[in-house]
Amino acid sequence: MHIIRPAIWDYDWGSGTAIQEIVGRDDPRIAEAWFGAHPLAPSTGLDGRPLDQVVAADPHGTLGEGTLRRFGAVLPYLLKLIAADRALSLQVHPNLDRARAGFAAEERAGIPRDAPQRSYRDPNHKPELVYALTRFEAMCGFRTPRRAAEVLSGLGTPLSDALSRTLDDQPSAAGVREVFTRLVDPDLAPSPAEVAQVVAACRRRLESGSPSPRADRTVGLLAGQFPGDPGVVTSLLLNPVTLYPGDALFVPAGGVHAYLHGLAVEVMASSDNVLRAGLTSKHVDVAEMLRNVDYVAAPPIRIAPETFHHATRVYYAPVDDFELSVTDVPADDVAHRLPSRGPRVVLCLYGSVVLADGAQSLTLHRGQAAFVPDRDGAVTVSGTGTVVQAAVP
């Protein structure tokens, strides 16, 4: 096992303090810190070697036979810290078939993999799990058509009335598809003036005792950050989500979502494929986004943990690529065994802990992470603090 340094991203929605306080950096803004082996931004060891090269040099020893057989010679997950001070894009992630096809098409077109206009940076899907470290606000998945129609009704603008009528007439996935496409397709999307009318109506309704105050507040928040963007109105179609520290949300491929504010740990399939339709300064590919959306209304998927040995909670996502465990290490001089074998990334969130595998030990302070290869076997943790671990189920 060895310490790894994260790759840092400073997207414009990032925080000036949240991740910095954990990893001990003074960057003016950090949006994400990546702990993994994605080839576009791998973590590095203290010797400077990128983690993807470490894995490629010894796939049997680092990944183990089971992971190697199922996923090939790659680390199948990516662990992140994410800190949003403002909303980040209205987006969806592709499934595996769409990712492979889209990646191959952009490779044939000769678009560099790190080009800003690239939609598919790798051939992998990107289901993800978000574990909140602070209150974390998001939107995820479509409301039921009837509920979305209720939220839109009464605003009294031509746009909101038209959308509400469509959902009343088609209370189905087909109706959701029609109104969502009407809002984000560049050939159909409302003008900034039409968006502003809906925003003003939401503000008036909020002041007069709104039946949907959270939806109206979200419209106002997004309008302040992205004035005129049709994604502001699209928020009325989506489920609001609030996570408190320790809560976890799973976002499947095809699930439309946008994160609004907060600090969290994310674990996902090792991918950077994001298809955006608005609420962003990044590349927008609406046509491809629409081809990947799941229009079936469903409540957000919250993952309840299973508890092991009193100290560890494991969040099992309904995918094969990853699982997340959280271990609170009490000051009891007891070595607590971490779950799982195979390739693991362990990140110390609070305190100072010691990882040990019987042959060696490694101290992690807050914000430090270690890569534990399969060959190291079972690992225990002692000291005082909290660690999160990404592993293969």
Q: What confidence tens digit (pLDDT) does each residue in 197-207 have?
A: 999 999 999 99
The 10 Å CB-count burial string (b at 16+, else e) for 177-191 is: bbbbbbbbeeeebbe
Q: Cα 353 vs. chain centroid, distance in angstroms?
A: 27
Q: What is the mean pLDDT of the chain?
A: 96
Return d(Cα 165, Cα 153) in angstroms, integer. 9
Q: Indicate the residue type of 159.
A: L
Return the pLDDT at 358.
Answer: 84
Return d(Cα 126, Cα 293) in angstroms, integer. 13
**Per-residue pLDDT tens digits for 87-138:** 999 999 999 999 999 999 999 999 999 899 999 999 999 999 999 999 999 9
**Per-residue pLDDT tens digits for 254-287:** 999 999 999 999 999 999 999 999 999 999 999 9
State the pLDDT confidence band at 34, using cuts at 50, 70 and 90: very high
The catalytic residues are 276
**Per-residue pLDDT tens digits for 338-365:** 998 899 999 999 999 999 998 899 999 9
Instruction: Reply yes or no on whether the pLDDT at 214 is more than 80.
Output: yes
Instruction: Reply yes or no on whether the pLDDT at 333 is more than 90.
Output: no
Instruction: Reply yes or no on whether the pLDDT at 227 is more than 90.
Output: yes
Are 276 and 285 contacting, i.e. CB atoms less than 8 angstroms apart? yes
State the pLDDT confidence band at 213, using cuts at 50, 70 and 90: very high
Name beta bridge partners: 385. 329, 351
Return the pLDDT at 331.
Answer: 80
Return d(Cα 77, Cα 136) in angstroms, integer. 22
Return the pLDDT at 334.
Answer: 82
Return the pLDDT at 115.
Answer: 93
Instruction: Reply yes or no on whether the pLDDT at 375 is more than 90.
Output: yes
CB neighbours of 357 closer than 8 A, spacing ≥ 6?
A: 1, 372, 376, 377, 378, 379, 380
Instruction: Reply yes or no on whether the pLDDT at 189 is more than 80.
Output: yes
Return the pLDDT at 76.
Answer: 98
Return the pLDDT at 2.
Answer: 95
**Per-residue pLDDT tens digits for 37-83:** 999 999 999 899 999 999 999 999 999 999 999 999 999 999 999 99
Return the pLDDT at 7.
Answer: 97
Q: Indicate the residue type of 353.
A: V
Instruction: Count the Cβ atoms, other than its own, within 10 Å of residue 359.
Output: 8
Are 55 and 244 contacting, i.e. CB atoms less than 8 angstroms apart? no
Return d(Cα 278, Cα 66) in angstroms, integer. 40
Instruction: Reply yes or no on whether the pLDDT at 164 is more than 80.
Output: yes
Return the pLDDT at 168.
Answer: 97
State the pLDDT confidence band at 332, using cuts at 50, 70 and 90: confident
- Measured CA angle at 305 (ends 304, 309), to 5 deg: 155
CB neighbours of 43 closer than 8 A, spacing ≥ 6?
A: 4, 5, 6, 7, 34, 35, 36, 37, 50, 51, 369, 371
3-state secondary structure of 353: strand
Return the pLDDT at 310.
Answer: 83
